């Protein structure tokens, strides 16, 4: 069987291509109503979309009194309007060094493509979208905005940050996600719902304090990036790896391959439990990008 070359690049063209896969998966017809965003809120408010009539209550805005109905029924009635609401989404992307590994494709490549797909989907729905990317060294951010231009800028930032991170990667780096989580919390109401795309490595001790606080104010979808080698039995053979700048080798037989699969499965269960205990909803990339997007619609993060 021919050896498949490892995909270690994330060109801008590949991110732009994700635009053509952004097909709405909900019944919402974006942009068809008189509200500024394409989504009707669940509460009555001061919007422009008429919803219902009820008898006047002292304190109601007198500008909303329906005088025709009031005259006809000889009782004061006020018009209720559906609250205007605009979806706000933050795509949080993990480009730390631990994401630059993989058996067929770097985890960072998979994560970047999925981030672009979600962002194009949000643009198609006229959602306002933030982008925050964490590398070992710093955060790279794009403020919330809507439209195609925003998606183009986001794709450019993803491509540029990927190139930066792959050059700066350090196999011994142990940067945790504390800077990213603190940034999302600091953004407050400008964060909105969060799609966090990461393999979940090196979460850090602050994770268990910061993530539950974040999940109380925002819906968090954690997309777990997994490599096929993590859920498929490893073929037997001799494998090379690099440890402390030295080339090492290990031989994998059937017994050790089974043991490794079991260890990885247990690790994933513990990771999923930790994420869910912190309030994050989880979905794995192993189910495919379209399935991930379907879950985001189901959770009303995209709608």
Tell me the CATH number at 164.
3.40.50.410
The reply to whether 46 and 125 lie within a common domain is no
Instruction: State residue 253's pLDDT score.
Output: 85
* Beta bridge partners of residue 105, listed in sequence order: 7
Residue 273 has pLDDT above 60, yes or no: yes
The reply to whether 281 and 151 lie within a common domain is yes
The reply to whether 161 and 51 lie within a common domain is no
Q: What is the Cα–Cα distance from 101 to 108, expressed in whole angstroms?
A: 8
In a domain, residue 2? The reply is: no
In a domain, residue 143? The reply is: yes
In a domain, residue 32? The reply is: no
The reply to whether 275 and 142 lie within a common domain is yes
The reply to whether 128 and 216 lie within a common domain is yes
The reply to whether 222 and 282 lie within a common domain is yes
Residue 36 has pLDDT above 70, yes or no: no
Domain that holds residue 45: 39-85
In a domain, residue 113? The reply is: yes
Instruction: State residue 37's pLDDT score.
Output: 45
Q: Which of 160-164, 186-190, 281-285 has the lowest mean pLDDT?
A: 186-190
3-state secondary structure of 294: helix
Residue 45 has pLDDT above 50, yes or no: no
Instruction: State residue 281's pLDDT score.
Output: 96
The reply to whether 118 and 261 lie within a common domain is yes
Instruction: State residue 212's pLDDT score.
Output: 95
The reply to whether 114 and 130 lie within a common domain is yes
Residue 20 has pLDDT above 90, yes or no: no
The rounded mean pLDDT for the chain is 85
The reply to whether 194 and 262 lie within a common domain is yes
Contact between 77 and 55 (Cβ < 8 Å): yes
Q: What is the Cα–Cα distance from 23 to 11, expressed in whole angstroms?
A: 22
Instruction: State residue 25's pLDDT score.
Output: 53
The reply to whether 173 and 219 lie within a common domain is yes
Q: What is the Cα–Cα distance from 88 to 144, expressed in whole angstroms?
A: 8
The reply to whether 68 and 162 lie within a common domain is no
Q: How many domains does the chain have?
A: 2
């Amino acid at each position: 069987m021919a050896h498949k070359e490892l995909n270690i690049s994330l060109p801008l063209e590949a991110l732009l291509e994700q635009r053509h896969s952004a097909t709405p998966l909900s019944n919402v017809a974006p942009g068809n109503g008189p509200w500024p965003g394409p989504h009707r809120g669940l509460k009555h408010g001061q919007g422009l979309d008429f919803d219902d009539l009820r008898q006047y209550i002292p304190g109601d805005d007198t500008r909303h009194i329906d005088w025709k109905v009031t005259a006809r029924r000889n009782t004061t009635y006020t018009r209720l309007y559906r609250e205007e609401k605009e979806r706000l989404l933050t795509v949080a992307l993990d480009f730390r060094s631990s994401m630059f590994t993989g058996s067929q494709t770097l985890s960072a490549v998979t994560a970047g493509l999925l981030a672009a797909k979600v962002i194009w989907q949000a643009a198609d729905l006229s959602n306002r979208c933030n982008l925050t990317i964490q590398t070992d060294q710093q955060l790279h951010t794009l403020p919330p905005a809507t439209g195609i231009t925003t998606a183009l800028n986001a794709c450019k930032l993803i491509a540029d940050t990927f190139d930066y991170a792959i050059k700066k990667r350090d196999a011994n780096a142990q940067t945790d996600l504390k800077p990213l989580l603190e940034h999302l919390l600091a953004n407050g109401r400008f964060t909105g719902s969060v799609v966090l795309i990461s393999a979940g490595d090196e979460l850090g001790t602050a994770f268990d304090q910061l993530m539950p606080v974040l999940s109380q104010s925002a819906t968090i979808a954690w997309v777990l990036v997994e490599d096929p080698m993590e859920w498929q039995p490893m073929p037997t053979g001799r494998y090379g790896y690099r440890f402390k700048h030295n080339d090492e080798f290990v031989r994998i037989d059937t017994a050790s391959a089974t043991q490794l699969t079991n260890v990885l499965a247990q690790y994933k269960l513990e990771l999923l439990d930790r994420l869910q205990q912190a309030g994050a909803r989880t979905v794995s990339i192993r189910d495919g990008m379209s399935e991930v997007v379907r879950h985001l619609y189901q959770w009303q993060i995209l709608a």
